[in-house]
């Protein structure tokens, strides 16, 4: 269980940084941290679920 949480946090941080970076590159107006965070949260949850559901088989 502990490694699931660590993987999830790493993925969340990675996608959040990518989201902020792409926001900054393509819009260069204000950064929408909440939108980037929610997208990162969804992607991280999805990928963590896929990784660990495929490991169970």
- The tens digit of pLDDT for each residue in 1-49 reads 788 788 888 888 888 887 777 766 676 566 667 777 777 888 888 888 8
Which pLDDT belongs to residue 30? 65
Closest CA to 45 of 5, 2, 1: 5
pLDDT tier at 57 (50, 70, 90 boundaries)?
low
Backbone angles phi, psi at 31, to 5 degrees: -90, 135
**Can you give the pTM of this predicted structure?**
0.58
Which pLDDT belongs to residue 28? 58
| Residue extents of the structural domains in the chain | 2-56
CA distance 14 to 48: 13
């Amino acid at each position: 269980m502990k490694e699931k949480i660590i993987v999830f946090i790493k993925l969340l941080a990675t996608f959040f940084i990518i989201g902020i970076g792409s926001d900054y590159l393509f819009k260069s107006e204000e950064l929408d941290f909440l939108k980037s965070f929610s997208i990162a949260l969804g992607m991280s949850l999805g990928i963590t679920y896929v990784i660990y559901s495929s490991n169970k088989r």
